[in-house]
Structures are given as structure tokens and as C-alpha cells.
Amino acid sequence: MKKITRKLVALAAVAFPLLAANQEPSLRHEANRLGLLVGAAVEPAHFSEPEYASTLGREFNMIEPENAMKWTATEPARGRFDFAPGDKVVEFAEAHRMKVRGHNLLWGSYNPAWLSSRLTSSALREIMHQHIARVAAHYAGRVFAWDVVNETFDAQARLRHSLWYDQPGIGLAGQGTAYIEQAFRWAREADRKALLFYNDYDAEGLGPKSDAIYAMVKDFKRRGVPIDGVGLQMHVLKGAPPDPTSVDANITRLARLGVEVHITEMDVALPTGAGGRVLDPAALGRQAEIYRNIAGVCARNPGCTAFQTWGFTDKYSWIPYFTHFKMGGGLLFDADYRPKPSYDGVLKAFETVKQPPARQSR
Ligand code: XIL
């Protein structure tokens, strides 16, 4: 499609959001057929860009705020809550009949400066409780699933040192996953219905880190701690991509514990040069293969109920910033919103599954 035609189509889609939702072929159309959620992380500041909005509405049936529901956005000063950016995400989703995944209620990183280790454990406990209670209650009924706790295990499967755990922590330092459990209990109190997820990276396939997460979920389930899902981030940044068979086995063992699995933050970073251009065009084909494999595993495995990418257009992606502009081009659409081979890979993976599995989504 010519650029000008794409712009006109985009404007029409903004005026009539629900027309775009049934367009085929699209990821959304295929995901609906498969009983699967297909999502992207979004920034509400871009909703006013017609092609950003129309691509989202056409291709996805779920969105997640990339930053708008994190602590910095929602509680910029102690006890001062700001839901305006997160509300924009919810409003966009409602206008386009999409679900909203909330991200996240508790994380050791990217917190506002006022949250510091100078606070006492009892103050931190109260702050954590209030934050989870207020944010989850505000979005109850509108956010269907929350990443309650993000990234607490390190590569050696030990609990990371963090403000919430032991620096100084909420009074449960040295007690393993007790502070994580506390976060889940408070989240359930604030929202009885939302699905509660633990979310992490480099724990997609079988290995020490995913073993630790599996053990935690097993323990939580056994003792009635409210947990409903595990998020596998799937940032493919360096090294070998996760082995699809191993990811499949990990999803299957988690599902046996009675939790669902979401692929939450997939991107596949490629080396880039000046202007963010992908250096080796052949890499786009290898990237497409990686996407196709993972999307295929998720589409076929009844334990996988959502497949999501971290952004959707290479115009806006965290990878260049995170890699000091050495990598980029990691998503499904190029910077002009044209579908890439990676997009075709995901679509093919979905289309190939003729008999959708009976998913266990609640
Ligand atoms: C990243 C965002 O993409 C950036 O815009 C922000 O500056 C930092 O956080 N794992 C997560 C996400 O769970 O919240 C992170 O998002 C990427 C890694």
C-alpha cells in the first residue's frame, strides 16, 4: 500500500475503531479464532498518531502500558496517585474492544527517587500495601490481569537484592519469597477477579531460573497463595534464542500446576547501524523464524493464553536505548508501520494451527 493510502486508511480506522477490529488477515483475527490474546506494549502519548492507533486496533485484542502503570507514573510522590496515563490506555482498549494487561505493581527497578533505602521497613511495608491496594482497586474490572511482581530472581536463581526484599525490605528479609507472597495477597484483596501474574526474563525455557519460578509457583499453589499465571518476557537480545521445545516444556509444566502462561514482552533485537538500520537484511529472515517458532509454541500449547510483543513498531522500541543504539529493529512492524517478515512469521504460526487447543484461560 502507498504511504498516502495507508494514512487515509489509518484515519478512517481512527474514526471507526470497531471496523478495523475484524479486518483479515490480521493477527487479531487469527488470535480470536485460536481463543488467544495477542497484545503489544503501548505508550498513550502515541495514540494521537493515526497509524499507531489504527495498527493497534487492527492487529491486537490486548494492550499493556509499557510504562504508564509503573510506580513512577502511578505514585510519583508518596501518597499522590496519578491514574491519568494509565486511564488513557484503558479508554483506548475499551474503544477498540481490547483487554488490558496491567504492568506492574511491584518491581525493584525503575522506581521513583522518593522510594529509597532510607525508609524504614515498616514504612516500606505500609507504602507497598497502599500502592498495591490503590492501584489494583482503581483498575478493578478494567485490567483483567496484573503483573503483580516483576523480575525478582537473578540468573543464578537467587532472589535479587532489592528495596522490597532486603534493602531494607518490608520486614521479611531472609525469608525467601515471603515478600512476593505478601504482594500477591494484597493484590487479591484489592481485586478479587483479576488474574495475578509473576513476570520475569531469561526464564522462558527449562533452566535454573525457570526452575526457581516453578518451585515458587508450586509452593504458592500448595499453600493457597493467590497466583494465576506466569509471564515469560521473551526479550531475545543476545546469545542463542530460547529453544522452542524447552519453552513448550516449561509452559506445560507450569500449566500442570494450574496457572496460565503469557508471553509478555517478546522482541528480537538485531544489530543496527546509522539511523537504526538493520545491518544484515538476512537477519530479518532469522528473526522471523524465531518469532514464528515462539508464536507457534504459544498457539499450540493450551497452557499459553496470550502472546505479546514489547511495542509493535520499530519506530518506538526500548531496545535502541537499552543497547546504546547498537541494536534495534526488534518488532513486527517497521518504523513506517509496514509489516515485516517477523509479522508474517507470527501470522503464519497462527494460521498453521487449524484445530485450536482447549485453552485453560479463566
Ligand atoms: C522498559 C520500558 O520499555 C522502557 O521504556 C523503560 O524506560 C524501562 O522499562 N522488562 C520489563 C519492562 O518488565 O517493564 C521493561 O520496560 C523492559 C524489561
Query: What percent of the chain clears pLDDT 90, i.e. is strictly above it?
Result: 90
Q: Each residue of 277-325: pLDDT tens digit?
A: 999 999 999 999 999 999 999 999 999 999 999 999 999 999 999 999 9
**Closest Cα to atom 14 of ligand 1:** 66
By residue range, what is the domain housing residue 17?
3-352
Kindly give the distance from the C-alpha atom of residue 317 to the centroid of ligand 1, in angstroms, as a whole number: 10
Q: Percent helix, strand and coil across the chain, each rounded to 5?
A: 40, 20, 40
pLDDT at 361: 66
How many whole angstroms from 188 Cα to the centroid of ligand 1? 24
Residue 66 beta carbon below 6 angstroms from any ligand 1 atom: yes
Asked if the structure places residue 164 within a domain, the reply is yes
Determine the pLDDT at residue 6: 65
Share of the chain above pLDDT 70, in %: 93
pLDDT digits (tens, 9 = 90+) for 334-350: 999 999 999 999 999 99
DSSP string spanning 19-37? HHTT-SS-HHHHHHHHT-E
Q: Is residue 359 part of a domain?
A: no
- Reported as a single tens digit per residue, the pLDDT across 71-91 is 999 999 999 999 999 999 999
Residue pair 252/230 in contact by the 8 Å Cβ criterion: no
Question: Which residue out of 149, 233, 318 has the highest number of ligand 1 atoms within 8 Å of its CB and is therefore the one to mutate?
Answer: 318
pLDDT score recorded for residue 270: 98
Active-site residue, from 75, 181, 260, 265 = 265
Residue 42 included in any domain: yes
Residue 1 has pLDDT above 70, yes or no: no
Distances (CA, A) of 214 to 155, 270, 360: 15, 30, 18
Q: Is 75 among the residues known to form the active site?
A: no
Averaged pLDDT of the chain: 95
Map residue 309 onto helix, strand or coil: strand
On the question of pLDDT at 44 being above 70, the answer is yes
Distance 41 CA to ligand 1 centre (A): 10
Any domain includes 24: yes
- pLDDT score recorded for residue 239: 85
Residue 32: CB atoms within 10 Å: 16
Which atom in ligand 1 lies closest to the alpha carbon of residue 103?
Answer: 14
pLDDT score for 23: 78
| Residue 353 burial (10 A CB sphere; 0-12, 13-18, 19+) | middle
Cα–Cα distance measured from residue 255 to residue 186, given in angstroms and rounded to the nearest whole number: 24
Residue 318 CB–ligand 1 contact under 6 Å: yes
CA of 46 to the centre of ligand 1 (A): 17
In a domain, 211, yes or no: yes
Task: Give the contacts of 249 (CB within 8 A, at least 6 positions apart).
Answer: 205, 206
43 by Cβ neighbours in 10 Å (0-12 / 13-18 / 19+) ranks as: middle
Question: Are the beta carbons of 10 and 59 closer than 8 angstroms?
Answer: no
Task: Collapse the DSSP code of 307 into the 3-class scheme (helix H, G, I; strand E, B; otherwise coil) and give the result.
Answer: strand
For residue 3, pLDDT beyond 90:
no
Q: Which of 30, 64, 151, 260 is catalytic?
A: 151
Rounded distance, CA 90 to CA 306, Å? Answer: 18
Q: Which range has the worst mean pLDDT, 8-22, 137-151, 164-178, 249-263?
A: 8-22
Q: Is 336 exposed, middle or buried (0-12, 13-18, 19+ CB in 10 A)?
A: exposed
The answer to whether the CB of 301 falls within 8 A of the CB of 248 is: yes
CATH of the domain at 301: 3.20.20.80
Q: Which residue owns the Cα nearest ligand 1 atom 12? A: 66
Q: For the chain, how many structural domains are there in total?
A: 1
- Active-site annotation holds for 151: yes
Give residue 289's pLDDT.
Answer: 98
Cα(92) to centroid(ligand 1), Å = 21
Q: Are 270 and 238 in contact (CB under 8 A)?
A: no
**Ligand 1 contact, 150 CB (< 6 A):** yes
Residue 185 within a domain: yes
Which residues is 235 bridged to in the sheet? 267
* Ligand 1 lined by 110 (C-beta under 6 Å): yes
Residue 99 lies in a domain: yes
User: In the predicted model, is pLDDT for residue 362 greater than 90?
Assistant: no
In a domain, 105, yes or no: yes
The pLDDT confidence band at residue 331, using thresholds 50, 70 and 90, is: very high
